[in-house]
Amino acid sequence: MPAAGAGQSVGSGQTPSSALPVTVDDPALEARILAGVSEIERQLADAAHSDEPFVAEAATHLLRAGGKRFRPLLVTLSAEFGDPAAPGVVPSAVVVELTHLATLYHDDVMDEADKRRGALSANARWDNTLAILVGDFLFAQASEIVASLGPEAVRIQARTFSRLVHGQIRETIGPGESDPLKHYLEVVADKTGSLIATAARFGAMMSAAPVEVERALTEFGERIGAAFQLRDDIIDIASETGESGKTPGTDLREGVPTLPVLLALQSSDPADARLRELLSKPLVDDAEHAEALTALRAHPAMDEARSYVHAEADAARALLHSLPDIPARAALEQLCDAVATRLG
């Protein structure tokens, strides 16, 4: 990975321009982050490799497409509160990112998505069965690595995986008679917050940071993880350029309820009757999709959603106040700023 000058934004993954920026003013920390994410990238490639050429190609399909590598970066920064060079830090980051990648293969099948990170999804390039099997392969690779990190790491990974699956099941069956917004936020906590919380926890735990630091970072990961996903909900509607890696308004077209949509649906204003009608169904018609997207972008629900994300990021930032005042804490605060400000 190319070096960056002190004070520059540092991102991980193979597409730095799309990575979430962290402003690092400490040259030593910057060097450790760059070395860490470079080694994580190398081990990710090794873990996705197979002697079967097709498996190797399919398993590295999304890996090569890049991504923010937000979770490995969080592992690396959290490890700064202990011994960042501890041998379990990099493998634990690989475990978290492999798990995340595996869920993307499965999610794209369930969502019938045809694009991911600007490239064809695996299910579109091959088929659903192969995409599911490749996701299973990556889960298996993550399991083998986490087994080398000890029984506590295995237990944490198992609980995280359970939450991921529960979140997907709850999303699939829908809110039923429960409040749709509350249901959605709980799904976000399970499907996104849980793994990001584990990333922060692994970094602290593998570096032997104090227990109280591990607890604070775990909760931080849960809160910033939810804000991270909810921010993408807003970008999916507000962005004109597909900043989220998908065509703008994709969730809207598929009838997937997200934070701005659910907030708009709560409106009792008679002037919103047409918008509520549009948002209550998948918008497969191009004209209706464009009409709903334009109306929603101008609706107060967007500002309400932005305020919610700001509040989540502020709550995450407050959890950092109890941590030692080291350069990594400032970098984590930058993550909060980045999540809160990149709202489309």
pLDDT value of position 155: 98
Residue for token pair 């970008």: 235
Q: Where are the domains of the chain?
A: 9-341
Architecture of the CATH domain 9-341? Orthogonal Bundle (1.10)
Say how far residue 144 (Cα) sits from the centre of its chain. 23
Given a contact cutoff of 8 angstroms between Cβ atoms, the answer to whether 338 and 330 are in contact is: no
pLDDT value of position 6: 40
pLDDT value of position 14: 41
Residues 6 or more apart whose Cβ sits within 8 Å of residue 337: 313
Given a contact cutoff of 8 angstroms between Cβ atoms, the answer to whether 70 and 93 are in contact is: no
**Which residue numbers in the chain have pLDDT < 70?**
1-21, 59, 61-63, 65-67, 106-127, 241-247, 342-344
pLDDT, tens digit (0-9, with 9 covering 90-100), for 197-214 = 999 999 999 999 999 999
pLDDT value of position 248: 72
pLDDT value of position 333: 94
